[in-house]
Structure 1
Amino acid sequence: MNRISFLLLATLALPVAAQELSMSSQKKFTDEQINFFESKIRPQLIEHCYKCHAKEGDKVRGGLLLDTRSASLRGGDTGPAVVPGNLNESLLYEAITYEDSSLEMPPKYKLPAHVIADFKTWIEMGAPDPRTDEADNKPAEKYSSTIDVEAAREEHWAWQVPQKHPVPSTSHPEWARNEIDHFVLAKLEESGLEPNADADPRTFLRRLSFDLIGLPPTPEQTGGFVKTWATDPDKAIHSAVDFMLDSDHYGERWGRHWMDVARYAESTGKEINAAFPHAWRYRDYLVDSFNEDKPFDQFVQEQIAGDLMQFETAEQQAEQIIATGFLAIGTKGLNETNGRQFRFDVVDEQIDTASQAILGTTVACARCHDHKFDPIPMSDYYAMAGIFLSSKTYYGTASSIQNRRSSSLIEVGGDLPSAHDKSLSLAEMIELQFQHDALLKRQQDLQQQIREARSNGEEELAGRLQQQILGTVSQIGAARARLNAVDKDGNYRQLVMGMQDGDTPFDSQILIRGEVENPTDERVPRGFVQVIKTDDEQPIPDSQSGRLQLARWMTSPENPMTARVFANRTWHWLFGQGIVKTVDNFGTTGQEPTHPELLDHLAIRFIELEWSVKDLIKEIVTSRAYRMSSDYAEEKFLKDPENKLVWRANKRRLDAESMRDSILFVSGKLDSSRPNASLIAQVGESFIGRGRGITDIDSYLTQAEFNHRSVYLPIVRDLLPDSLALFDFADPSLVLGARESTIVPSQALFLMNSDFLQSSADAMGRNLFDTVNGDRGKFGYLAFYRCYSRPPTDEESRKTKAYFERFIATAKETGIDEQQARALAGSTFLQSLLSSAEFQYVN
């Protein structure tokens, strides 16, 4: 969920009393919000607060307990600790920010900025908290679990292997185009509903085009499709589907979908927020993998253990290592002073991402205690942790005094694209070495000046000099990174992010309450989640990390989760809502499938299709269910207002990327080529934020005249382009298979005032007037066709003509010549079309 969504939730929550919130059902919180509490908030409460503010703590201070939801809302002697949605009234937040010197908690140290930010987010979203009035008792220093995994496996549908169900019979089998339709129609008939009629061909093609390639069809494509549809709709659809799946734009569209799931970003996020100048290689790997229709089981295996898989060429080996960037591009707390804590935090993020993205399971919720809702004991979490602890994560980042956790990168062979057009000359290398050495000399001089200042009692001067050293050390780190990026001849080395096995694999200890200072004596053998059972599970050799075995277990045809989860994601991306609505959580707190037999059918078909994503998509979009119109029908709506049974298509707003790309496309400005590397790669090793490296993405994009597709935009954590951030772009720090869809005033204001939209309307106007030789009638006709995939109605044509006449006449009265007035009329008219609901929505 993005920042705007949080602000909206906070505004809505302000008038709600804390008591009412505390008594309301936990079902009002989403699974993502509960997971946020479990992964971000509960561990911090346990580590920093429970000693003084829990029933089992050393001593309850200030009458405040924080080990249950009701106690947190009630507060202590000075008032409520947490008021959902209201930061100003939440004393817990005031205490951890140290804004009041009389109320500072923890008393001996201030929490890291990213932890404080997490508490802020948590309170603003309504303080989701699944804890009951039974406190989290302090666990014994020895771990034991009461979870009966074998029994639990039989109690929840997702843990069981998909079954091949007979295709149901229906009253109107002639309606169906494939087996999917029989499952959908059977559910509708059970509820006394009928499917909507088919969408008209123009509406259908526009929907299909956005779903498959993220762009609208051209007027020529629409005309040809409508003509074929008139005699053979099925032929028209199959031809269009094949054409789009063969387009390079398909990989850009569906690669971007996976980037949401993989929390793709080009910086570490958090306080230090260092750039990942090599992350673009993983982005390109995703685009290429979808375009090549790489089997999904291979796709998953490469991202978990590509470095350990067999290869035939140096290029293939490099590609497979690049794929493991999936595990390397997560957020990093680079200023963490405790190296062991940092290592476990990185591993926790990897477990959370891999388990949600591939298995639809929130394994990371078992870091501090047995999973509260699913049959996942802590021992399963630490069995997986041992696998990742036995691996090395390479992510780069420039070193500095603040960045205590910089990393090297992996050098690969083969002939790969480069972020740089040419090698460094000998003179450039000498200059770079000279700069590096001069910075080292400056650091030494500053250190000597600090010693002299302190010996003379000039502490203020010493403090100022110390600040200069901080900046100098960062410059040294960046210079060293530039030197390390080339070989002795000045050729840029092929460096990539990714994973490799460690020198000596080992099993992890269980950490009581997830605290690195509180390990048990016993170690958990490296392994997998027990409740997800496969008979072909491979043992992990002592000499290996276990990532390769983990990857094979995840993609086993007997694994009940992987095929189901991705089939459901595919349905969500095509229908706007998954068969399981909680696409990242198939556990007991997730929603039940609306069509369980259909989901099993899709999972089994996906495997039968040899894990071909293109074939799975084609089977879905050629169904009659996908063809339905989105028309409203009151009687059906009253029976199924959320359209869970799929009686119509869901009307959907374009996502941020499709909106930007479509504006560029219809205006004639879109550069369809793949850009060289990334803007972040061109900047190189740097830091993000105020006064550091890149500070304004939008200005940078404007200066670079970046008109490539949005999948290639720089995705920097905490500094997204406005064209994405304002329109519910996925939070690149989280696994997010389903984006929010909000409507807020800032979106309309952006479209009204953005230089991007105005310049696009100007360019489109020039392009259209050139195409139609200045004919205003044809101008309006073609404008409607490009923007809406349909011709204007007679009324729209009349109003368009009247608008041009009135605008030009008024402009000429102010001294503007006719040609300029015509251009302004065309531009403002087009801006209104590009800002309209019809342009922004897909029916």
Structure 2
Amino acid sequence: MKPALCLVLFCCCAGAALPEDAAFFEAKIRPVLVRHCYECHSLKSGKAKGGLMLDTRQGIRVGGDTGPAVVPGESAKSLLLSAIKHSDPDLEMPPKKPRLPELVIADFEAWIKAGAADPRESAINAAERPPVDLESGGNFWSYQKPRAAGGTIDGFIQAKLKENGLEPAPVAEPVIILRRLYFDLIGLPPTPEQAAAFSMDQLEATVDGLLNSPRFGERWGRHWLDVARYAESNGRESNLTFPHAWRYRDYVIDAVNADVPFDRFIIEQIAGDLLPAQGDAERARLLIATGFLALGPKGLNEMNKAQFAADVADEQIDAVTRAVLASSIACARCHDHKTEPFSMEDYYALAGIFKSTQTFYGNWIDSENNNHGHLIRLPGLPGQVIPNRPLSADRVRQLKEDLVRLQAEEKAQNEYVAKAKADGRDISGEYHRILATAIRILWNRGGIEGQLETVDEQGHALPLCMGVQDAKSIQDSQLYDRGEIARPVKSVPRGFPKVMGSGAAMPEEHSGRLELARWLVSRENPLAARVMANRVWRHLLGAGIVRTVDNFGFSGERPSHPELLDYLALRFMDGGWSVKKLIKEMVMSEAYRQASTYRSESFEKDPDNRLLWRANKRRLDAEVIRDSMLAVAGVLDTSRRPGSLVAELDGQSVSLIGFNAKLPSDLDGSKRRSVYLPVLRDHLPDVLEQFDVANPNLVTGNRDVTNVPLQALYLLNGPFVQEQAEALAKRIQSSPERVQAAFQFCFNRQPDAGELALSEKFLHTGAQDGFKLLQAFCQSLFASAEFRFAD
């Protein structure tokens, strides 16, 4: 059997888990819950529809308003099984989507019958949660300002190790440190030449070079896009495209490369439209930045305009507070927050700010959309280039004539109905005809208006973006009983959460977004610097100092090194909020440069490595795995993709993705970096989805890392993997030391004697096609664990 086949089949078949095992839950159950359920039923999403939380063992067993979701051993009493089977029309999961595959349902049924083994535990047991009010909230560690403490990163780490009788690991080998740096900072492996030339004397110069590389922004920009829930379609029941979202993607990459101070970066994304600008280019950049608030999924089929506006504001509140504060205030929409010091008044004080904001997202009214989104016109930029889809001046003129005709038809019908009512005539028998005409006019008019908004009189594309601007009407929000739009209680002045102590007044003539943005990153705010420093630490060291990186509240985990976190937050602010300076300090530390060697005596004292007695072994992110294959195959195109494939599609719906011939089946086919691949909600590129790319519906600072058979099958059968293996085979084909060359490209090392002997034996197997054997050998290297891990 070929090595590639042996390796991948072993991953699929060895040690198969049984339904009564925790491993079965991790392989078969948890990934389904994460993908299909957590968006509406998890602490991470801040939502518990129907009172149901599915992200903890306790939550799934206690259930919600209708009873236990899972009753171990009794599938008939487990409402979760009934929901995924769609056996009850009032209890279907996932809602408004096709039923899950039969094999998945069978897995859930077998799991429940076998006792529903579930190794998960909540971050903090409900019984241990203290009563939450302003006083206890104000005394909680994360709501207090960072305290200055003398020391260094290594000083804090080593003090904790010594306190617990632990020793740090020795320094890793230079090539391992180099690979770590390349993967962490630019998301690509070093070349064999770079690895051969590297020495520890060049460490600082290497770090500086990587931080100044344009590839840095693509790598670290993707981290922020995870937090910004970046996507190029709406998702949900109306999956319409966002053809102009790519402008925000490029804004983020450029801002990260330019090391825009993080406080300014946040202000631009929340209130860029309200900032002064010098010239058209700066004004356009600031407008594009506000796309952060426009990218979220929306209930586009909502008929009630007030409800739609309230839901958009709710999603924006959730995104802003999770991204910047790692605390979701959106949970206080219907009642005072159960586990955090946020009241309904806090929520509706923020809601007034976002209800005084108009959101531009670009979808027009049609059969899937009842809410026209419009777009923002940008000054001084070229329009979006859409190959093979120009609008001529004659076509523009025809569309305008069609629009005038539809408007006249609508006016005539309205006058007919009004006259019949005035005359007392009964036209109920014409109801269906009148309704059908109204819907036809509405949908056709929406499509025409949507097209005309994107072009000038000559049919040339206009420069447009998603984003926000202040609404024409600035107003405070009502507080709604149980969050129901039809049950207003009282008006709540716009403002900020009381627990953080800001009493800043809101301007009458503006929404208050600029004041909110400035308050969020003020030195008086205890959270913003801590949260970002923790996010950076997580990406470089493998786990956050606070492991629940999106939750710094009572229900989140406590910091393993609180003094270190405060030190990093203060250093971050004192360093001008420079992310690059913060990264450099971390990667130059001894803690970062440790070996990942396992030691049993240390493991027994600290099995989770919370005290960092060694480096964490980390699997590469999905994008890094894909980009590394392209790089070692020698085919990576490092140029920026102009626009996005999504912008080139015909029509605005991708609800039925297979019907759009311009989309590759795996949403790939590109040789550019993964950050430029299309990001369609509910339809992500195969290679990214298999390796746990962030769910674009959620603010994600901490991606899941799974190890499931589908990953091995993808590495065996994926056309993308096979194509890159073929390209690598061609690259090394003429080398007299093909095996050594392949190992150097993939792992930056020579094969040992055993690896070399096995590889050569395989490459000289029988009379088979020599190139096919070489391609299979290269694919086996791509499929290896060593290729997917930093060290």
When the two structures are superposed, what TM-score results if normalisation uses the length of structure 2?
A: 0.84
> What secondary structure does 1:499 align onto?
strand
Q: 2:132–2:340: 8 Å Cα contact kept in structure 1?
A: no
Q: Which residue of 2 aligns with 1:160?
A: 144
Q: 1:267–1:276: 8 Å Cα contact kept in structure 2?
A: yes
Q: CA deviation at 1:43?
A: 6.9
Q: CA deviation at 1:238?
A: 0.6
Q: Which residue of 2 aligns with 1:677?
A: 643
5+ residue gaps, structure 1, are 1-7, 17-28, 46-67, 135-145, 168-178, 445-454, 812-820
Q: Which residue of 1 aligns with 2:49?
A: 41
Q: Does 1:839 align with 2:784?
A: no
Alignment of 1:467-478 (within 5 A): 477-478=446-447
Q: 1:97–1:104: 8 Å Cα contact kept in structure 2?
A: no
Instruction: Find 2:70's aligned residue among 77, 83, 86.
Output: 83
Q: Does 1:780 align with 2:763?
A: no
After superposition, the Cα gap between the structure-2 partners of 1:618 and 1:515, relative to the gap in structure 1 and judged at 3 Å, is same
5+ residue gaps, structure 2, are 1-16, 26-36, 54-58, 412-426
Q: Which residue of 1 aligns with 2:767?
A: 810
Q: 1:43–1:514: 8 Å Cα contact kept in structure 2?
A: no
> What secondary structure does 1:113 align onto?
coil
Q: Which residue of 1 aligns with 2:708?
A: 744
Q: Distance in 2 between matches of 1:417 and 1:686?
A: 18
Q: Distance in 2 between matches of 1:471 and 1:651?
A: 58
> What secondary structure does 1:272 align onto?
coil
Q: Which residue of 2 aligns with 1:828?
A: 776
Q: CA deviation at 1:695?
A: 7.8
After superposition, the Cα gap between the structure-2 partners of 1:442 and 1:390, relative to the gap in structure 1 and judged at 3 Å, is closer
After superposition, the Cα gap between the structure-2 partners of 1:73 and 1:264, relative to the gap in structure 1 and judged at 3 Å, is closer
Q: 1:278–1:681: 8 Å Cα contact kept in structure 2?
A: yes
Q: 1:315–1:415: 8 Å Cα contact kept in structure 2?
A: yes
Q: Does 1:505 align with 2:474?
A: yes
Q: CA deviation at 1:478?
A: 3.9
Per-residue CA deviation, residues 527-562 of structure 1 (Å, 9 max, x unaligned), is 01111235xx64211111110000000010121100
> What secondary structure does 1:531 align onto?
helix
After superposition, the Cα gap between the structure-2 partners of 1:11 and 1:485, relative to the gap in structure 1 and judged at 3 Å, is farther
After superposition, the Cα gap between the structure-2 partners of 1:36 and 1:655, relative to the gap in structure 1 and judged at 3 Å, is closer
> What secondary structure does 1:509 align onto?
strand
1:220 aligned partner, one-letter code: E
Q: Which residue of 2 aligns with 1:594?
A: 560
After superposition, the Cα gap between the structure-2 partners of 1:782 and 1:87, relative to the gap in structure 1 and judged at 3 Å, is farther
Q: Distance in 2 between matches of 1:477 and 1:541?
A: 35
Per-residue CA deviation, residues 176-199 of structure 1 (Å, 9 max, x unaligned), is xxx211111111111111110111
Q: Distance in 1 between matches of 2:18 and 2:694?
A: 17
Q: Distance in 2 between matches of 1:251 and 1:212?
A: 9
Q: Does 1:366 align with 2:332?
A: yes
Q: Does 1:656 align with 2:625?
A: no
Q: 1:252–1:287: 8 Å Cα contact kept in structure 2?
A: yes
Q: 1:254–1:290: 8 Å Cα contact kept in structure 2?
A: yes
1:714 aligned partner, one-letter code: P
Q: CA deviation at 1:426?
A: 3.0
Instruction: Find 1:793's aligned residue among 743, 752, 766.
Output: 752
After superposition, the Cα gap between the structure-2 partners of 1:85 and 1:300, relative to the gap in structure 1 and judged at 3 Å, is farther
Q: Which residue of 2 aligns with 1:613?
A: 579
When the two structures are superposed, what TM-score results if normalisation uses the length of structure 1?
A: 0.79
> C-alpha root-mean-square deviation of aligned residues, in Å?
4.1
Q: Which residue of 1 aligns with 2:34?
A: none
2:295 aligned partner, one-letter code: I
Q: Which residue of 1 aligns with 2:695?
A: 731
Instruction: Find 1:236's aligned residue among 192, 202, 205.
Output: 202
Q: Does 1:529 align with 2:497?
A: yes
> What secondary structure does 2:763 align onto?
helix
After superposition, the Cα gap between the structure-2 partners of 1:86 and 1:671, relative to the gap in structure 1 and judged at 3 Å, is farther
After superposition, the Cα gap between the structure-2 partners of 1:472 and 1:661, relative to the gap in structure 1 and judged at 3 Å, is farther
Instruction: Find 1:718's aligned residue among 682, 693, 700.
Output: 682
Q: Distance in 2 between matches of 1:718 and 1:88?
A: 29
Q: Does 1:765 align with 2:729?
A: yes
Q: Distance in 2 between matches of 1:86 and 1:319?
A: 57
Q: CA deviation at 1:152?
A: 2.7
Q: Which residue of 2 aligns with 1:138?
A: none
Q: Distance in 2 between matches of 1:608 and 1:571?
A: 17
> What secondary structure does 2:767 align onto?
helix
After superposition, the Cα gap between the structure-2 partners of 1:439 and 1:542, relative to the gap in structure 1 and judged at 3 Å, is closer
> What secondary structure does 1:766 align onto?
helix
Q: Which residue of 2 aligns with 1:293?
A: 259
Per-residue CA deviation, residues 51-95 of structure 1 (Å, 9 max, x unaligned), is xxxxxxxxxxxxxxxxx99885897xxxx6532699964675688
Alignment of 1:167-316 (within 5 A): 167=151, 179-225=152-198, 229=199, 233=200, 235-316=201-282
After superposition, the Cα gap between the structure-2 partners of 1:395 and 1:116, relative to the gap in structure 1 and judged at 3 Å, is farther
After superposition, the Cα gap between the structure-2 partners of 1:105 and 1:763, relative to the gap in structure 1 and judged at 3 Å, is closer
Q: 1:10–1:86: 8 Å Cα contact kept in structure 2?
A: no
2:727 aligned partner, one-letter code: A
1:524 aligned partner, one-letter code: V
Instruction: Find 1:389's aligned residue among 355, 359, 380.
Output: 355
Q: 1:244–1:250: 8 Å Cα contact kept in structure 2?
A: yes
Alignment of 1:128-167 (within 5 A): 148-154=133-139, 156-167=140-151
Percent of paired sites with the same residue: 42
After superposition, the Cα gap between the structure-2 partners of 1:831 and 1:473, relative to the gap in structure 1 and judged at 3 Å, is farther
Q: 2:39–2:47: 8 Å Cα contact kept in structure 1?
A: no
After superposition, the Cα gap between the structure-2 partners of 1:515 and 1:828, relative to the gap in structure 1 and judged at 3 Å, is same
Greater CA deviation, 735-744 or 411-420?
Answer: 411-420
Instruction: Find 1:540's aligned residue among 506, 511, 521.
Output: 506
Q: Distance in 2 between matches of 1:211 and 1:471?
A: 53
Q: CA deviation at 1:420?
A: 3.4
> What secondary structure does 1:699 align onto?
coil
> What secondary structure does 1:289 align onto?
helix
Q: CA deviation at 1:501?
A: 0.7
After superposition, the Cα gap between the structure-2 partners of 1:723 and 1:10, relative to the gap in structure 1 and judged at 3 Å, is farther
Q: 2:123–2:557: 8 Å Cα contact kept in structure 1?
A: no
Q: Which residue of 1 aligns with 2:592?
A: 626
After superposition, the Cα gap between the structure-2 partners of 1:193 and 1:386, relative to the gap in structure 1 and judged at 3 Å, is same
1:588 aligned partner, one-letter code: F
Q: Distance in 1 between matches of 2:753 and 2:356?
A: 69
Greater CA deviation, 632-641 or 123-132?
Answer: 123-132
> What secondary structure does 2:654 align onto?
coil
Q: 1:697–1:719: 8 Å Cα contact kept in structure 2?
A: no
Q: CA deviation at 1:799?
A: 2.4
Q: Distance in 2 between matches of 1:788 and 1:679?
A: 33
Q: CA deviation at 1:13?
A: 8.1
Q: CA deviation at 1:803?
A: 1.9
Per-residue CA deviation, residues 87-119 of structure 1 (Å, 9 max, x unaligned), is 96467568889956xx6649xx999727999xx
1:796 aligned partner, one-letter code: E
> What secondary structure does 1:500 align onto?
strand
Q: 2:226–2:700: 8 Å Cα contact kept in structure 1?
A: yes
After superposition, the Cα gap between the structure-2 partners of 1:13 and 1:621, relative to the gap in structure 1 and judged at 3 Å, is closer
Q: Does 1:426 align with 2:393?
A: yes
Q: Which residue of 1 aligns with 2:33?
A: none
Q: CA deviation at 1:414?
A: 1.7
Q: Does 1:495 align with 2:464?
A: yes
1:490 aligned partner, one-letter code: G
